[in-house]
Structure 1
Amino acid sequence: MTLAPIAIYVDADACPVKDETFRVAARYGLHVFVVSNSFMNLPREPWIERVVVSDGFDAADDWIAERVGPGAIVITADVPLASRCVKAGASVLAPTGKPFTDSSVGMALATRNLMQDLRESGLITGGPKPFSRQDRSAFLGALDRAVVRLRRERGL
């Protein structure tokens, strides 16, 4: 059985860590799929693949979820997508560096649904806290650790 190469899938619409992802991918020679609903300017590198999907509801999520499995790293803040990818065996990271795992994704979904209900009822009107340098740094470390772990598991 041949293992699929390690690849990174970025849920790119509103992703604040694309440049950091490219830096880590370049260091390890990994292919990156940047998936979005619209064209975005990206570095012209053979290992960065732009994927523009229709603007249909969850089109980018569906494209990613249908292709990932063990050996894939998914970068997303979308909790339902994270859940789908974890179930498929992918490693999933939020842009803050927080990993989604079998044990954490259920709680993340429940929290997301609760917060959505509170926002819809008007009890909470704010969004998430602003993205910080510490979040960016935590993401870089988490992505590097995920790549190293997958490489070690594959004997690379």
Structure 2
Amino acid sequence: MAQLPAGRPLRLLLDVVVLTDAADITALNNRTERERRTMRMSPERAKQQYLEQQVASASPERLLTMLYDRLLVDIDRAAIAQAAGEWMDAASPLLHAQQIVAELTSTLTDAWDGAADLRALYTYLSGRLIVANVARDQAATAECREIVAPLRDAWHEASLHSSLV
């Protein structure tokens, strides 16, 4: 088996197109520029494109549960960074969590009886996320997790029941 030179990026291997005969070369030349760029797509870009397609094709229920899943991931990442004393690494997921809570708040409508209570909870959660970040407060981060985890589970359960109807 061939060995790569030390330090050679794996990406170079992913960009290689094996051409076996003249027909392959002609086919490559006839491809559009977009097709050629897609062939050279990095693994990171492929992952990003997959995630974008997942979001674009998701039902409203699925989008909501995806937001809650990511919110919990952000809070957990921040808690891990805070526990390690890596305050700068904790800031980014806490800011992202605040953006998610803002998005969740903006999607509430007054057509639902529980909207005012959930809006108040989101407002409180947003404030605690800010405290967790600015004051480097691990207890506030833990409190945010305690608030979000049951909500996430409830929305997942609700989305299962709504898909059965």
TM-score (normalizing by structure 2): 0.31
Whose helix fraction is larger, Structure 1's or Structure 2's?
2
Whose strand fraction is larger, Structure 1's or Structure 2's?
1
Give 1 or 2 for the bigger CA radius of gyration.
2
